[in-house]
Amino acid sequence: MNGASAEALSVVVERTIPHPPEKIWRALTEPHLIEAWLMRNDFRPLEGHRFSLEADWGGVDCRVVDVEPNRTLTYTWQTKDLESVVTWTLVPNGAGTLLRMEQSGFRADQQPYYRGATVGWKRFLAAMEEVLARLG
């Protein structure tokens, strides 16, 4: 991202995963699968649904903004003084699915959150790939 330093920063992680969008969608929307790669949760894929993600370090308050099954999922991600938005995009391609995660809304003075998310999402996606590999 370039432009004025006052602009919000985004973390983007993209990878091609050798599974169809429908299978990845399950990992993004089924609570027991979300827990296996991300955090404990009470997620439901319904616009407007408020849910929590909980980990040993604390929690995240979220609200589902947009749901297009097997295509895109967007929710707010609020923790402490961070107000951000996470958007998942699934695009089928010859090798499976291009999965793109963007977390946007980091202020320039929120470098610790930004750096944490940069590292954290790569770890979360690696864990998701392990979950997908075990799914029938």
Residue 109 lies in a domain: yes
Give the range of the structural domain holding residue 96, as residue numbers without chain letter.
11-134
Q: What span, in angstroms and rounded, lies between the C-alpha atoms of 123 and 110?
A: 20
Residue 30 lies in a domain: yes
pLDDT at 4 over 50: no
On the CB side of 47, how many CA atoms lie within 13 Å of its CA?
6
Q: What is the CATH number of the domain that holds 21?
A: 3.30.530.20
State the total domains in the chain.
1
pLDDT at 3 over 60: no
Note the pLDDT tens digit of each residue in 9-27. Answer: 999 999 999 999 999 999 9
Strands 9-17, 72-79: parallel, antiparallel or unpaired by DSSP? unpaired
N residues, the chain: 136
Collapsed DSSP state (helix, strand, coil) of residue 124: helix
Residue 25 lies in a domain: yes
Note the pLDDT tens digit of each residue in 49-92. Answer: 999 999 988 899 999 999 999 999 999 999 989 999 999 999 99
Which of 108, 56, 102 lies closest to 77, judged by CA?
102
